Amino acid sequence: SQTIHQWPATLVQPVGSPLSLECTVEGTSNPNLYWYRQAAGRGLQLLFYSVGIGQISSEVPQNLSASRPQDRQFILSSKKLLLSDSGFYLCAWSISTGVPGELFFGEGSRLTVL
Amino acid sequence: AQKVTQAQTEISVVEKEDVTLDCVYETRDTTYYLFWYKQPPSGELVFLIRRNSFDEQNEISGRYSWNFQKSTSSFNFTITASQVVDSAVYFCALSSGGYNKLIFGAGTRLAVHP
């Protein structure tokens, strides 16, 4: 069966520090991968998606970047965090072919920038 | 432009009451998909249902039912005889335009009290 993991689960970082959140998927090949952010009391905003290794599409201009160095690995990064980067970050995957299906979400990473 | 509106920010009910969560969407596409997800306190999103734009039949799954009406661009979710375990944030989402990118509403926080 397929599983998705992301870490760390909780992170407190000072403004200006770097960030790296990792997400890995097991049990499937060539998935579509996504990073969403959920700000406090708000809905989920799609930040990045990837349909293959090295292929990253950004949905909103921001201070963050994403990379996909391996088929089932998706990394969210920042060189210098801003206060506004605080939030709950969710990684998700879906099958890459056929009818749009459900997204499978990871456990989430809660980032607090101080 | 695609958009999902969940006008109800928070709903509070007493156990065994029926409750309906509203969802209104906007899209210019003729083919699209609608979803409902549940986010319990643990944070991980759980898929509940997917409905395509050509299937307006209502669906019932246990205590859950969904009412899809294209004429009003609505996809409402009803929980019958609510239980404390139904307490969560519920998100409505829209997928259109490829790559299975979901556009989420702001979510409705449901609190079911004993």
Chain A residues touching B45 at Cβ < 8 A = 44, 90, 92, 103, 105
Q: pLDDT digits over B41-91, tens only? A: 888 899 999 998 988 888 888 999 999 999 999 999 999 999 999 999 999
B100–A103 C-beta distance less than 8 A: yes
DSSP letter for B31, please.
S
Q: Which of A59, A102, A105 to mutate to test the interface with B (most CBs of B within 10 A)?
A: A102
- Say whether A108 and B44 touch across the interface (CB within 8 A): yes
pLDDT(B26) > 70: yes
Residues B34, B56: Cα–Cα separation, whole Å: 11
Q: Please report how many Cα atoms fall inside a 13 Å half-sphere around the Cα of residue B65, on the Cβ side.
A: 12
Contact A101 B45 (CB under 8 A): no
Would you say residue B22 has pLDDT above 70? yes
Q: A104: which chain B residues are within 8 Å (Cβ-Cβ)? A: 47
pLDDT bracket for residue A111 (50, 70, 90):
very high
Residues of B in contact with A43 (CB under 8 A): 4, 6, 91, 104-107
CA–CA dist A31, A73 (Å, integer):
10
Residues in chain B: 114
- Across the interface, whether the CB atoms of B100 and A100 are under 8 A apart is answered yes
Residue A94, chain B, CB below 8 Å: the answer is yes
Tell me: pLDDT of A99 over 70: no
Amino acid identity for residue B78 in this structure = T
**Confidence category of residue A21, pLDDT binned at 50, 70, 90:** very high
Residues of B in contact with A34 (CB under 8 A): 101
Closest chain A residue to B10 measured between Cα atoms? A41
**Chain B residues contacting A via beta carbons under 8 Å:** 4, 6, 33, 35, 42-45, 47, 50, 52, 91, 95, 99-107
Q: What is the pLDDT of residue B106?
A: 93
Cβ within 8 Å, pair B100-A110? no
Instruction: Please tell me if residue A46 touches chain B, with a CB cutoff of 8 Å.
Output: yes
What is the Cα–Cα distance from B90 to B38, expressed in whole angstroms? 5
- Residue A41: what pLDDT? 67
Determine the pLDDT at residue B44: 87
The answer, yes or no, to whether residue A103 has pLDDT greater than 70, is yes
| Per-residue pLDDT, A51 | 92
Are the CB atoms for A47 and A31 separated by under 8 Å?
no
Per-residue pLDDT, B101: 85
